[in-house]
Amino acid sequence: MYRVIGTVKSRAFRVLWVLEELGQPYELVEAGPRSDVAREFNPLGKIPALVDGDAVLTDSVAIMTYLADKHGGLTAPAGTPERAKQDAMTLWLIDEMDALLWTASKHAFVLPEKLRVPDVVPTLHKEFARNAEALAGMLEQSGDFLMGDKITLPDLLAVHCLGWAFGAEFPPLPEPVKAYSRRLRARPAFRAAAAA
């Protein structure tokens, strides 16, 4: 059984959702960032961490990819053009959504107050809104999911970022993106992860 170190209201949610989609058993070890428990598994105190036997893995997207590859789901096979396209989408989401959300969080509450630059947040909002419009265009071309007709890791990453943006009071999303997010959030695996 896997052990996930983190909280549902963090990037650990991505890992929980992957495990639910893959039908893999896990235990959630509640630990906030920089807590003593988190530092047991990652010296930097970052969450999430995944314990798989003797291996301790960190970084939510690395863990997601590991689990998808290991269990043969939510991903295109490594070494294929489809996987390269999937990885390109994953990296785009990290650069153009996740990074903007994390930077806004740092300047809102994570960094010590004297290091925060709140004036950067409106620019991050504008960039995110532009990227959400781009995502709407991608969805229009791709079908039900970002990579076509089946759910893959980029979908889980995107929907997690969209929920984060909503919670952080980023600008409203384009209607096609909202509909996509609602549809994936209704999946039983998403609901089970949220209740973990």
Query: Residues for the chain: how many in total?
Result: 196
> 42 — phi, psi (to 5°)?
-145, 115
SS3 87: helix
Six-digit token pair at 124? Answer: 């991050």
Which tens digit of pLDDT belongs to each residue from 31-80? 999 999 999 999 999 999 999 999 999 999 999 999 999 999 999 999 99
pLDDT tens digit at each of 196 positions of the chain: 999 999 999 999 999 999 999 999 999 999 999 999 999 999 999 999 999 999 999 999 999 999 999 999 999 999 999 999 999 999 999 999 999 999 999 999 999 999 999 999 999 999 999 999 999 999 999 989 999 999 999 999 999 999 999 999 999 999 999 999 999 999 999 999 999 9
Six-digit token pair at 166? Answer: 């909503």
Asked if 158 contacts 97 with a C-beta cutoff of 8 angstroms, the reply is yes
Q: Do domains 2-74 and 81-187 have the same CATH topology?
A: no
Taking the whole predicted model, whether its pTM rises above 0.85 is answered as: yes
Which residues does 35 contact at the CB level (< 8 Å), separation at least 6?
A: 45
Asked if 170 contacts 129 with a C-beta cutoff of 8 angstroms, the reply is yes
What superfamily would CATH give domain 2-74? Glutaredoxin (3.40.30.10)
Domain ranges of the chain: 2-74, 81-187
Q: Terminal CA-to-CA distance of the chain, rounded, Å? A: 15
User: Which CATH number is associated with domain 81-187?
Assistant: 1.20.1050.10
